[in-house]
Amino acid sequence: MTTILPLVLENVTVRKRDKTILKDISLNFAPVGFTIVMGPNGSGKTTLLRLMHGLERPRGGSVKWSSSEREARPQQAFVFQTPVMMRRSVIDNIAYPQIAHGVSRATSSSKAADWADNVGLAHVKSIEATNLSGGERQKLAIARALINQPELVFLDEPTTNLDGKSTREIEGILQKAFNGGTRIIMTTHDIGQAKRLATDVVFINRGELCEHSPAEEFFGATQSSAARAYLNGDIVE
């Protein structure tokens, strides 16, 4: 069903100024899956996701889609670690990707209203988005990412700072999207969440890939010492 996957990274290196942020990373993302990217703060998770989405350029190596990059981009969506709240109403925020892709105002508005419902923002849909709470912002960003029915969604720590209830609500939305055929690549520091959602886990530390394995394998028989320490809640060297 997907046209842009699998996604293959070959020996990718990202440098900023004089700092190497990602070092010689090779990864293969199958057409179906819910990948969780884990790693300590500053390990390069955000950079990795941005790189795949085309927001960062690799210094070396390559990012290969099964289609051309031009065709691949509109089939992806990105939920940023700090979601961008456009200075317009919640409903107009959610509808924006539709409008940007030439969908009529009427259609996009009714679709956005449905999505506001799906993510539990119906009661705030006409206030300006900048007034939303942290959890509501995340929900808005997710609805905005999913409205165009992308094949692949990147999510960068979508539930950080949220309480248990909101976290579970968002997980439900993502699970539903995944069941509907959406490919998901997401970062999180929440190990329980990773266990609940992941089909496979990528673990990086200091910009280097430590392991990429199916979820049961990662949580059952962790290969790298860094990942083991991280899962134990120890300080990762």
Partner 1 sequence: MIDVWEGILQAFRLVYSLDRDLFEIVLLSLYVTLSAVIVASLIGLPLGAWLAVNRFRFRRATIALLNALMGLPPVVVGLIVYILFSRSGPFGVFGLLFTPTAMIIAQVIIITPLIASIAHQAIRDLWAEYHDLLISLTTSKKQRMKTLIWDARRSLLTASLAGFGRAIGEVGAIMIVGGNIDHVTRVLTTAIALETGKGDFALALGLGFILIGLAIAVNMAIHVLSKTERGGQW
Residues that bind ligand ATP (CB under 6 A): 16-17, 19, 21, 39, 41-47, 81
- What residues pair up with 14 in beta bridges, in sequence order? 22
- Tell me whether residue 123 is exposed, middle or buried, using C-beta atoms within 10 angstroms of its C-beta: 0 to 12, 13 to 18, 19 or more: exposed
* Nearest distance in Å: CB 38, partner 1: 22
45-53, 147-155, 196-204, 219-227 -> range binding Mg ion (CB under 5 A): 45-53
44-52, 57-65, 88-96, 177-185 -> range binding Mg ion (CB under 5 A): 44-52
Q: Rule CB under 8 A: say whether 122 interacts with partner 1.
A: no
* Nearest distance in Å: CB 217, partner 1: 32
Q: Rule CB under 8 A: say whether 176 interacts with partner 1.
A: no
| Neighbouring C-alpha atoms within 13 Å toward the C-beta of 57 | 2
Nearer to partner 1, 131 or 232 (CB): 131
Answer yes or no: are the C-beta atoms of 154 and 44 closer than 8 Å. no
Nearer to Mg ion, 50 or 212 (CB): 50
- Angle at which helices 90-100 and 134-146 cross, to 10°: 20
Nearer to ligand ATP, 108 or 159 (CB): 159
Residue for token pair 């900023």:
16
Residue 212 CA: distances (Å) to CA of 46, 184, 201, 219 = 17, 15, 6, 12
x/- letters, 79..98, toward partner 1 (CB under 8 A): -x---x-xxx-------xx-
